[in-house]
Each structure stands twice: as structure tokens, then as C-alpha cells.
Amino acid sequence: MAHTVQAQPPVAAGRLALHGLSVEGVNQCVHCGLCLASCPTFAELGTEMDSPRGRIFLIKALAEGRIALGASTAGHLELCLDCRACETVCPAGVPYGRLIEAAKAEIERQRPGGVLRRAFRWLNFGLLLTSPWRLRLAATVLRAYQTSGLGWLVRRGGLARLLPGTLAAGEALLPPLPPARERAALPPRIPAEGARRARVAMLTGCIQSVVFGAHNRATARVLARNGCDVVVPEAQGCCGALNAHGGDHARALALARHTIEVFEAAAADAVVVNTSGCGAHMKGYGHLLADDPAWAERARRFAASVVDVAEFLAQEPLRGPLGPVPMTVTYHDPCHVVHGQKIRSEPRRLLAQIPGLSVVELVESDWCCGSAGIYNLTQPAMATRLLRRKIGHVVATGAEAVVTANPGCILQIRAGLAAHGATTRVLHIVELLDQAYGSASRGGASGEASGEMGRGSASRGGAST
Amino acid sequence: MPDALLDGLRGLVGPANVLTGIELGPYVIEGRTPDAAVFPRSVAEVVGVLALATEAELPVVPWGGGTAAAVGLPAARAGIVLGLSRMTRLVEHEPGDLTATVEAGVTVAGLQSALRARGQWLSLDPPDAERATVGGVVAADASGPRRHLYGTPRDLLIGVTVVTAEGAVVRGGGKVVKNVAGYDLPKLFIGSYGTLGVVVEATVKLRPLPDAERLVCASFDRLKDAGDAVRALMSSDLVPNAVELLDGAAAAALGAGAGLGAALVVGFDGLDEQVVWQCDELARLVTSLGGRDPRALPPEAWARLAPAARAAVGQPVAVMSFALLPTQVTETMEQGANAARARGFHTAWAAHASVGVVSAAIAPEPARPEPAPLAAVLAEWREMAHAGGGRATLEWAPLAVKAQVPVWDDPGAAGRIMQRIKREFDPRNVLNPGRFVAGI
Amino acid sequence: MAALAEFRKASLRRELESIVGASAVLTDPDELLAYESDGLTMLRALADFVVFPTSAEHVSAVVRLANREGVPFVARGAGTGLSGGCLPAEGGIVVSLMRMNRVLEVDYENQIAVVEPGLVNLHLSWAVGRRGYYYAPDPSSQQACTVGGNIANNSGGPHTLKYGVTTNHVLGLEVVMPDGEIVWLGGRTRASAGYDLVGVFVGSEGTFGVATKIVVRILKKPQAVKTVLAVFDEIDQASAAVSAIIARGLVPAAVEMIDQLTIQAVEDAFDCGYPRDAAAALLVELDGLTVGMEAQAERIVQACRDSGAREVRTARDEAERQLLWKGRKSAFGAYGRISPAYMVMDGVIPRTKLPYVLRRVNDIVAAHGLRVGNVFHAGDGNLHPNILYDPRRAGEEARVLAAGAAIMRLCAEVGGSISGEHGIGLEKADFMPFIFSPDDLALMQRLKNAFNSSGLCNPGKIFPTSKSCAEVGPAAYRPHAIEEKGLAQRF
């Protein structure tokens, strides 16, 4: 039996890159495979091309010119959630997020897709997300659609089935948009209560401001309660995360520069973000603009000032009084919080300070729910599988609410729970904190901000002595 | 046996080390007398003996201490007993490595005393350790009560040197405690009853001697309660080194007292404080489950545990051993005893309860001189074991009984693989022909 | 000719699809690329097919088809192996077991679990963990590697010092034999009739068939665990401490050593708490009863101090303990931070030879102009010198292989073995004569014939090439086949 063995082929000299973006990081991968079991798509499919190691292999082969970008290779790379769970477990420190973004940019260049997809991209990345007013206008139209009964007609009348796959999935996920008063912009400055701790600038987000204005309001209130002067730069737009993840590199750069400019003008101690995808992306501006001499240093400095809201609040004990929130919740780690920003204990520490709240751990709490930016629109089949998996674990906890920290996850998990017929609520962590402060001011105060809720997170394994 | 062959053997190992005729008494199995018994002193001599025997296509029966010689069917043809009792060197013992290499003829007791002098031991306690040899223990996969914590030969043997039927000296495994180079040949020879090769040297893992050890016995009125205590013990935090369950008859033979329903005997080792604490905990546990009078047994009781069932019936007509799921041990013991009693037999049962290994000895009730056929009881026992997913082996019985009741379970489809292995290893079928499973 | 081959491939593909379904067969060359190596990237080979069975019947049908067509096949789990053991046979079928990953049954009272081969090792411990049980063999890749892969390699891990390796925890196997027959070896009880086929199947590196169901023992979690970190300024002191611990009559659950280069890599990765300036650290874990734990820990601490440890401390809590272990278990991957490639050796030596062998290993690697990181199971004497290199530098790979061979030879010379847990695979096949005679190898070959007479099941592994077979024994070092650049044929 002939058994051919090849030695390592000579590697092309020079910098490995795709679409001009360095993928030198592939050389950090030593093929140990520790990432495999942490990858949701690999867990679902069991195919190595759909694992981080396999994708790194494909990216390397692409960059080295060993293979061309065929449909199957593009398909496996596009199936990546970019959840970066693999980065968390990777001992070699492979910068996987950067590699996959470069690969996706290359795919967009070589295989821009059909008319519908391009139209979708143009509408989202080119038009709506680059301009807050256009997004608000679209929201007004959408709200009219939802309240007119037309939405009901589309869903019940079977029209949804006639829509192309991604649009149909999008329709199902569309949140009921709040009325105009909730979509209104935050005031430009919310003053601190009590002793002043810091001046923070808030990213209100593009979609967030439209869909989840309430979260922004809650964030501002909780920050103010904790001694922050909150400023909300009016000229801010989209941070460009969706563009970057979707392979639209050029617009991602432009949006990053704009964001930096706007927030520099706010002269804050920190830029607080309550949407994880944005936070993780903005923390990476330094890398994004590293090759732009005019911006590199500014981007690095700006990135260092970006902080997730839970990360920020957990730096000090919450200021009281916090009222009781008597319910059982579980916490879902959004990918771009736990993997993108390595924030794992902070939200749990915050929850533990809410009196009356009981927290049960969620199995695979740090697994992607399938939302992943626009993934649920572009890869509806895999998104649905992952959502089912997530909902199964959520329901198994018996919790009354899932607490998380990202609008995408909230929409996705809500849709999943609704489809499952579960009544479990889905809350942003700042909503829960806001509720605790509200409960305190209504008189149900325990007065103690430092709760005794640590029991919820049971320790694992045998006793350590 | 041709004289030329006998001369050849005498020339090889010296005339004094070739027994014939009347001297063969100790090597008669089930009434079958071998042609000769040969006692080589070196690996080279073993090679020579096998070469001569294979040349003559004469069966060879490797022989250690003879403690398991009666297990299985005797060779269909008379042949040569290849005794290893002169190969008794302790080849190597490096305490810092916790390993020792010995020749196959070293007795287990002999090895233990040499090791004990240096603060170590082989954590294996087969029955009849004064006679049982290391090679024999490997070939028969023998173990004792302490297997609960320390396992069996397959957990302790790390290297083996065998002489194949064709006279090749083959080493499997090695001298280091962890080793996955090549196939795990040592496993193949464990429990192979001398059908694949002659074990001439073994390397084993050792352990430091524990500071303290104690054997505790509790009495129960009912076997079932003792079984429940075993389950409770297994799900507790305690770390016993032996968990033995004996029915009333076996308990009496052990010296645990007469007229008991059952006895639970548990061993502990480790630091003094650990042994003391565990004995206290065990006392609490058994008394809460109907156990009485938890008490320490003298150290000599260890050696009486494994043969307790056999000793209890005096002159057994058969001994059957079972490998069961631990949860089925008490039920099998009770049902098996009842089935035998209904046919006019009395029995005694002893079990390594936590690992599901049970031994039963059977003899006719003195009051019923003409009992129903023994074969029927044994067949019923075997069915009982199979019904629960377990196995049964007829460890000992007269040849007439073995003719009716198979010694070994049918290994099923795996038997064909075993036959292929036998053909590959011993193509001329000289090593213990017909003794083992599947006609091997 | 080529057209004929393509025609045959297409028809084979259709037949495979009819067995496992169209979505469970890969033939796209770009997709097959992801299967061209395992954890050892130095060796590569391309299969023609990857199939994803979901039952023993699937596996059996695929294997029967392969036999009919004379096509080689190789079973594969997570592909984390480090010796090329599941490297595809060129033009053959890879049987991926990743879709057979269920825990079929757990019997807590009898302390056994029945699992499928594609189950991730750690997931088994998770599955039974809530009831206070765990699966003891814990290879460092346990978060990704599969139980089936562990069976093939008889995998070890840090805690095998006290608890034994995979083979000590497997009771029964449902196996698809190399001819396609489905056979049970062993079962759920502690003994079975006849030869210990489970014992020889475990560690046969996929050459005896494909395990499709596995009965393993699960153990009760110990009442208490204590982890001691001892820090040394000299490697020899750490080696001496290992012997000192054993000399005090202790068998800890694990005794792991990690050297400076490795400490620095893992600290870069995860900030685990190993001091970066230490020459070596020992991670010693005790488990068992709460009673006596302090006394035993005290013996460990004393043994380390007497051997010259500059610092000895115990992990304060479970979090710190987990972090220390995370560093230990991620060490191989962490080399990716300081080197684009590494080759891990897996030699075993008698514990008492540790100081000598470690010094020699460092000398050998230095003499080849390379760097080495050591992180290994010191209590077992199971070394893992990791030779760091850059495949892009001309000639470096050849030097790595030469140094590796010299280290293997050293292990053999001191009475050790060339593999403690990673298996021989393809990588070390030619080193087998370092420790086995032609007669030893011939008997192993006969055992293989009894299982795998056609040779189609994972061909080319374990046994040295016929060329090196001729020059066994203490032969002079011969260049490894893969040192010759480009293609090499193995038969």
C-alpha cells in the first residue's frame, strides 16, 4: 500500500495577506486543535473545514496560493460566526478575528454575490448604517409596517415564504420597534449623582439607538447613579463593526475615523459602550488603523479608552441604594463581550450585587446564540441550529429571565424563546441594574448595594483545600 | 516420548532437572500424567526446550507454582511440563523508579518480602502467594481482595519477556511505567493460560508500603443488607482498598463468626489518621444499614478472604467464578444458593463485591447422598450470570463435570479473533492445546 | 487512465453517499485539505474521501466497501494526535467519527458509562460531573480530543500517575473489524472469556479496527484536592525533588514539570501565575481524603524544600488551581507564541534518570542549533521535549528531526521508551527498532495479521519501513524518511 508523505512545502517568502490585510497570524497556529470543541459550527457539523483550525488552514492555503477561492472554501469561511470562542481557548494566541475578517474581505472582493445580496449590503452598510437620520427614517417606515397589520399579513399570509431566505429570516427577527418617544436621542449630557467619579462618553449605537433606546436610557441612568457625568456626542454614527465583519473594509475604516474624531471632541475619561460588537470592534481600532500613519496613534489612544459598560461598572462596588429584584435569572455571555473583550466575571459580579436576585449558571453560556451581527440573516440555517441549542439550555435552567449585554443576542434569543413558546424574558444587564435602582427609589430598598447573591454561581469540581 | 527427545532435554537442562515416571506425581492433572517435566534455568534453556518440543509436536504445559494448573481443560495429549521454578532471580529493582523486573518463577511471597525490605510492594495479592509465581499470576490473571483499589495484573504488568512456541524470545512493553510504543503485548499474555507463549520475565509497577493498614468486618443478618452497605460505601467518600462480601458459610470459614447472615469485610490503608478516620466512618455507615459489631480482623485474615468460599464447603465438587455488574452481586449470590439448595447442594459464596467478581463453591448436602446432577446447577448459574450481562467460568471441577459444562463462556464473534491470534502465535499448536476458550 | 480513476472515484462516492448520506461525504479537494494532517503538521497526505458515519452499521458498510474496492481507510477523531497516527492514507477514505459523539448511557451505581467514539474527553467528565463523577484519563488536549482517539493511542495525562492510562479505564468496546464485521470485545464487567482483546485493541493506533461504542469506568470525584507549586532556580533541583517525593512514600495524583521557556510561553498566553524567572517549576497534585491531606502536603513541601526549591506554595482556591492547570495543559499550543512550529517528543525514561537525561536533551538540542522547551509528566518519567523551529528556514526541519532521533535514542539507551502516550503513528515508526528487536516486531506483526490481515485499516503506521527493518538493533542513525525533502514513498 503506497503511503505518500509530503514534507512541509516551502512557504512563500514575504508577508501573507488577503485583500491587503495581513494574515501572518496563521503562522502562530501550531495545529494543536484545542480550539475544535469550542467552535459552535464544528460542534454542529463535525467537519474540520468548519472549525477554527480548518479555517486557519484554508486561509493560509489561500494566502499562499495553494488553493483558489472556490465556492466551498468561501462557504466554510462565511459560515464562521466570528464569535471568537476559539481565541479564548487558543494557547498560541492566534489572532483569529483578524484572520477571518481579512478572509471575508477577500471573499467580498472576489465573490460579491448576487443582486439581492449586494442590494442588501448596499442598503445596510452603505446607506442606513452610515447615517443616523436615514436609519431613523427607515425605522419610522418599519414601525408603520409593523403597526399597520401589514407585518401580520406578510407572516400569516405566507408572503414571508416568498421572500428570499435571508430577508425572510430578517423579517422573523425584526423586533417590534418601540414608539418614537423611545427612539428619541438621549440628551447630550446627563449629570452625575453624588460624588463625581468620571466623565464618560456614551456610544448610543446605530441600531441600538433605534431598537433599544430604552437600554441607552437605562445605561445613562445607571452610570449617573454611579457618579458619572455622561456625555452623548450628537455627531456619532455607526462604529463600523458590521462593515468590518461583513467584509466591507473601506467603509469600516471611514466609520472608525469618524467615530474617533467625534469622541475625541467629547474629551471624556472613558468611552462606554453597551453593545458588545461595537465595544470589541472599537477596542480594535488601533489594529484597524495601524497602517495609517496619520491615524495609528490616535486610534491606539482612543481604543484604550473604550470600555464595556459592565467592565466599567464592575471596577468599583455599585453605589447604593439598590432595591430587591426578586427573580431567578441566568446569564448569556455575548461573544464579543466574553471572547472579544475577555469580560467574563464582571457582569456576574454586578448581578451578584442585586438584592433578591438569584443567578443560575447557563450551560454553554459563552456559546454564540447564532445572532452574530448579521449572521442570522446570511446563514439562517446554522443560526437556527445554534439558537435551538441555546434555547434548550436556557429553558433547562428554569430561569425567569436571560440576562445578557448585546442587542443582537437579545433579539435572537427573544425570537428563539417565542418560537419555543417560552415566557422567559430577555434583559440587558443595565435594564436589570436600572430596575434595582428603580426598586430602591420606590421604597423597597435594602439599602445595601453589596448583595449576598454570590451563591448563584456554584463552584465547580471537588473542594480545593 | 521418544528417548532421543528425553536425552535432548536432559542434555539441555541437566538430567536432575528432567522428571519422569513416578516423579511426575505433582504434575498430574485430572488423572493425566505428562511425559516429562523439565526445569530450565535460563531463557536460553527455555528456548531449547520449546524448540525440541515443537520439533516433536509435543504439547508443552508451562508451569509456575501449579496453583491454577487445574483451570481449563487438560491438554488432549500428554506432553512436557515446562516448570519455571528454577528461574527465580530478582533481575532489577530500582526503588526510585517504583519498578521491578523478575524472572517468572519467583513466588509472589518471595518477591513481596524482597520488596518489603526496601519499603515497597507489588500491590497484588493473589491466593496462595507462597506457591503462586509471578509468571503464573500473569498467565492466570490472578488477583485478590486489594484489586478493589489497586487493580489486577493488567494494571501492574508493564513489560513481559516470553518465549514463543517457535523459540523466539520476545519482549513486549518495557521497563517504564508509561509506554505506548507498539502493541500492548503484555495485555495479551495476561490470562492467556500459557497458550500463546511462555512468560519468562516480567516487569511490574510497585508502590510504597502504606504507613498503616486495617481490615474491618461487620456482621449482617441478611445478605441483602450487606449488599446495600456495599453500595453506600461505593458512593461515599471513603477510599477502601478491599470490599469483600461473604455469605454466612464463607464468613464462618474466614473466622468472622458462626451463624451470620453475611459479613462485609473492608480494608483501608494509608496514613494512620486516614485509616482510623475511615474505620470510624465505616462503622457509622454499616450500623446505620443493619450491620453489627464492626471489628478489626487480624492481618492473617487477608489471605483467607479469597479462598473463603472454597474453604467453607470442605470438599467442593466444583468452584465457579463470576464477573458481574456490582449491583447484581447479592442477587446472584442469593439466587445461586437457592438454586443449588433446591437440587440438594450446599454452597458458599465470597465476592470482591465492588468489582462484581464472585466465587462460589458447591458440594452435595451430606443428608442427600444422591443429589441431582451437578451440571444442571452449574448451567443454571451460568445462565443467571449471562442474564444480567455477566460472565461465568468453571474454575474447578472434575473432568467428568467439565465434559458436561463448558469451563469457559463462549466468547462469541471475538472467539474467531482469538483463534486467529493463537494460529499466528503458535501455528503448530503445542502450547497448552485445547485448554482455553474457543477450542484454543 | 486518469479518466478511469475519476470514474471509479465518482462511483465510489455515490456508493459512500448511499451509505451515510450525501451531506456526510467530502470529496472537494479544498475540503480534503483540512484533513491532510493531525496535530503534527510536518506530515501530510490527502485522502480522496472523508465520510461522517453516525452508526456502527454505517462504519461497517463503509469498511466493507473499502475492502471490496481495496481502498485503505483511516479512522479519525478530533485530529489532535501528535504522531501522524490518523494521517490519511493517500487516496483512501477518512472515517471521521465526529458525528458519533453521544453519551449513550451512564450507570452511576456500577460506575460505568457507554459512549460513542467522537465524544470529547472532557465532555464525558462534564456529563457525569453533576453527580460527582469524572472520567480519569485527562490528556492535555482533553478539551478537544475524543474518547475514540484516546482508545487508539491509549492516551495518558497528568493524573495517570495515580490513576493509570486509558487502558486501565476501558471495560468493553464495540468494534468494526477491518473486514467490516461488528464485534464486541470485553463488556461491562471486569472480566471476559478469553484473551484480553480490549487490552490489545486499546493503543493499537487504529490498526485493529474502528471502535464504535466504548464502555468506560467513571470514578467518584475525590473528597479533597491539593495542588502544590514548587519553584526552582535549577532544573536539576526540580528533577531531584521528583525522586525525593517518591522516596517519601507518596504517589501523588500528578507530578508535572515545566521549564523556563515553557513558563514564559504560557504566562504570555494566560497569566497563570508561574514565576517567569524560574528555571523550572513542579506542579504536584494530591487528591483523596480530606483527613491526612495536610500531612501529605507537608511531606511534598518538605521534599521540594530539601531539594532546593526557592518557593513552595499551595493553590489558594479552585480558581487558582484551574489556572495553574490551564497553563500546564495549554503549554504545547502556547509555543505558537514564541515559535511558528515545534516538534514534541514523547520519550519515557526511568524516573531516576531524569537529571541526566534532561541535561543530555538540552545538550543535544543546543548542538543542533535549536531551542527546546520541556513540559512533562515528571512523576511518570514521561518527557516532552518540544523542539522549536521555523519551517521557513532552510534546513531547520532536518536538524529538528536529527535532534529528535538523538533524543529518542537517548531514551532507549537509559532503558526507556520512545512513546509514553502520543503513539508511534508514522512519525516514530522508524524508531521502533531502537527498543524492539526483529523478533519483537515480528510478533506484533502477527498480532496485526490476526486483526487486520488485508492491511487496509490505517496502513503504514507503527511498523518501520522495510528498509529500516533490515537494520534493527543498535543500528546507526538513519535519516528519517520524511527528512528527504519532497515526496517519499512508504510501503
Of C334, C361, C387, the last residue of a domain is: C334
How many Å lie between the alpha carbon of C343 and the closest alpha carbon of chain B? 18
In the numeric block, the cell 471495560 is attached to C171
The CATH number that applies at residue A36 is 1.10.1060.10
Q: What is the pLDDT of residue C192?
A: 84
C200, C303: one domain: no
Q: What is the pLDDT of residue C30?
A: 93
**Assigned domain for A11 exists:** no
Distance CA A312, CA A300 (A): 19
Closest chain C residue to A13, measured at CA: C392
Taking CB atoms and an 8 Å cutoff, what residues of chain A touch C145? 33
Q: Mutate which of C52, C98, C454 to disrupt the A interface (most A C-beta within 10 Å)?
A: C98
Residue B70 has a CB neighbour count (10 Å cut-off) of 17
More confident residue, B372 or B31: B31
How many Å lie between the alpha carbon of B282 and the closest alpha carbon of chain C? 14
The cell for B219 is 456482621
Of A63, A94, A110, the last residue of a domain is: A110
Whether A33 and C79 lie within 8 Å, measured CB to CB: yes
User: Any residues with CB less than 8 A from the CB of B413 and at least 6 apart, and which?
Assistant: C181, C183, C184
Closest chain C residue to A70, measured at CA: C30
Taking CB atoms and an 8 Å cutoff, what residues of chain C touch A382? none
B222, B324: one domain: no
How many Å lie between the alpha carbon of A357 and the closest alpha carbon of chain C? 23
Query: How many domains would you assign to chain C?
Result: 4
Closest chain B residue to C202, measured at CA: B184
How many Å lie between the alpha carbon of C110 and the closest alpha carbon of chain B? 6
**Assigned domain for B57 exists:** yes
Q: What is the pLDDT of residue A249?
A: 84
Query: Radius of gyration over alpha carbons of chain C, in Å?
Result: 23
B38, B70: one domain: yes
**Assigned domain for C149 exists:** yes
A169, A258: one domain: no
List all chains that touch chain A, counting a touch as 3 or more CB pairs closer than 8 Å.
Answer: C
B38, B57: one domain: yes
Closest chain C residue to B92, measured at CA: C415
Name the strands in the sheet holding C49-51, side by side, starting at the edge strand that comes first in the sequence: C25-26, C49-51, C93-96, C73-76
Taking CB atoms and an 8 Å cutoff, what residues of chain B touch C419? 179-181
Q: Which tens digit of pLDDT belongs to each residue from B215-249?
A: 999 999 999 999 999 999 999 999 999 999 999 99
The cell for B21 is 515416571
What average pLDDT does chain B have? 95
How many Å lie between the alpha carbon of C178 and the closest alpha carbon of chain B? 11
Find the mean pLDDT for residues B390-396.
Answer: 96
**Assigned domain for C490 exists:** no
Q: Which tens digit of pLDDT belongs to each residue from B33-80?
A: 999 999 999 999 999 999 999 989 999 999 999 999 999 998 778 899
The cell for B203 is 516487569
**Least CB–CB distance from B184: residue in C200, C350, C439:** C200
Lowest pLDDT segment from B362-366, B407-411, C456-460 = B362-366
Distance CA C426, CA C82 (A): 10
C354, C458: one domain: yes
In the numeric block, the cell 466493507 is attached to C64
**Assigned domain for A271 exists:** yes
**Assigned domain for A371 exists:** yes
C354, C466: one domain: yes
What average pLDDT does chain C have? 92
**Cis preceding-peptide flag for A324 (omega within 30 of 0):** no
Whether C419 and B180 lie within 8 Å, measured CB to CB: yes
List all chains that touch chain C, counting a touch as 3 or more CB pairs closer than 8 Å.
Answer: A, B
Q: Which helix (H) or strand (E) holds C240?
A: helix C235-247
SS3 C80: coil
**Assigned domain for B204 exists:** yes
Query: How many domains would you assign to chain B?
Result: 4
Contact residues, C window 359-388, toward B, CB-based 8 Å cutoff? 377, 380-382
Whether C435 and B95 lie within 8 Å, measured CB to CB: no
Whether B180 and C440 lie within 8 Å, measured CB to CB: no
B172, B265: one domain: no
**Assigned domain for C259 exists:** yes
The cell for B314 is 470442605
C88, C54: one domain: yes
The CATH number that applies at residue B77 is 3.30.43.10
A340, A426: one domain: yes
Percent of chain B, pLDDT > 70?
99
Whether B323 and C462 lie within 8 Å, measured CB to CB: no
Taking CB atoms and an 8 Å cutoff, what residues of chain C touch A4? 45, 90, 487-490
The CATH number that applies at residue A248 is 3.40.50
Q: Which tens digit of pLDDT belongs to each residue from B104-113?
A: 999 999 999 9
Distance CA C151, CA C168 (A): 11
C148, C213: one domain: yes
The β-bridge partners of B81 are B37, B61
The CATH number that applies at residue C269 is 3.30.70.2190
The cell for A235 is 455627531
Distance CA A364, CA B284 (A): 41
A161, A245: one domain: no
pLDDT along chain A (465 residues), means of 10: 42 73 91 94 96 96 93 94 93 92 89 61 57 58 55 48 45 59 76 93 79 88 96 90 81 94 94 92 93 94 96 94 95 94 95 96 94 84 95 96 92 93 95 93 50 32 35
Domain range for residue B61? Answer: 3-83
Domain range for residue C25? Answer: 2-96
The answer to whether B175 contacts chain C (CB < 8 Å) is: yes
Of A283, A313, A343, the last residue of a domain is: A313
Residue type, C155: S
**Least CB–CB distance from C28: residue in A72, A89, A462:** A72
C45, C107: one domain: no
Of C334, C359, C384, the last residue of a domain is: C334
- The low-confidence residues of chain C, meaning pLDDT below 70, are 1, 466-491
C201, C241: one domain: no
A302, A190: one domain: yes
Q: Mutate which of C192, C195, C382 to disrupt the B interface (most B C-beta within 10 Å)?
A: C195
Query: How many domains would you assign to chain A?
Result: 4
For residue B170, give the nearest of B284, B21, B50 by alpha carbon: B50
Of A90, A110, A130, the last residue of a domain is: A110
B301, B385: one domain: no
The CATH number that applies at residue C440 is 3.30.70.2740
Distance CA B418, CA B435 (A): 13
The answer to whether C162 contacts chain B (CB < 8 Å) is: no
**Assigned domain for B40 exists:** yes
**Least CB–CB distance from B417: residue in C291, C348, C450:** C450
Find the mean pLDDT for residues B200-213.
Answer: 97
Distance CA C126, CA C219 (A): 13
**Assigned domain for C179 exists:** yes
C90, C115: one domain: no
**Least CB–CB distance from B96: residue in C168, C351, C422:** C351
C234, C329: one domain: yes
Whether C418 and B424 lie within 8 Å, measured CB to CB: no
B121, B218: one domain: no
Q: What is the pLDDT of residue A6?
A: 43
C474, C379: one domain: yes
In the numeric block, the cell 514548587 is attached to C230
Q: Please give the ipTM for the structure prediction.
A: 0.97
> Given the DSSP bridges, would you call strands B80-83 and B60-63 parallel, antiparallel or unpaired?
parallel
B120, B106: one domain: yes
> Given the DSSP bridges, would you call strands A327-331 and A357-360 parallel, antiparallel or unpaired?
parallel
Q: Which tens digit of pLDDT belongs to each residue from B290-300?
A: 999 999 999 99
Count B/C contacts: CB-CB distance under 8 Å: 258
The answer to whether B237 contacts chain C (CB < 8 Å) is: yes
Domain range for residue A204? Answer: 186-313
Q: What is the pLDDT of residue A145?
A: 53
**Least CB–CB distance from C181: residue in B169, B177, B413:** B413
The cell for B218 is 461487620
A195, A296: one domain: yes
C204, C269: one domain: no
**Assigned domain for B440 exists:** no
Q: Cβ distance C403 to C387 under 8 Å?
A: yes
A296, A340: one domain: no
Is the sign of the CA dihedral A157, A162, A166, A167 positive or negative?
negative
Contact residues, C window 329-358, toward B, CB-based 8 Å cutoff? 348-352
Find the mean pLDDT for residues B383-404.
Answer: 94
Q: Which tens digit of pLDDT belongs to each residue from C370-428?
A: 999 999 999 999 999 999 999 889 999 999 999 999 999 999 999 999 999 999 999 99
Give all strands (DSSP E) within B147-211, no chain letters. Answer: 157-163, 169-173, 198-205, 207-208
The answer to whether B425 contacts chain C (CB < 8 Å) is: yes
A350, A385: one domain: yes
How many Å lie between the alpha carbon of C460 and the closest alpha carbon of chain A? 7
Distance CA C416, CA B416 (A): 35
**Assigned domain for B376 exists:** yes
Got the DSSP string for B208-265?
A: EPPSEEEEEEEEESSHHHHHHHHHHHHTSS---SEEEEEEHHHHHHHTS-SS-SEEEE
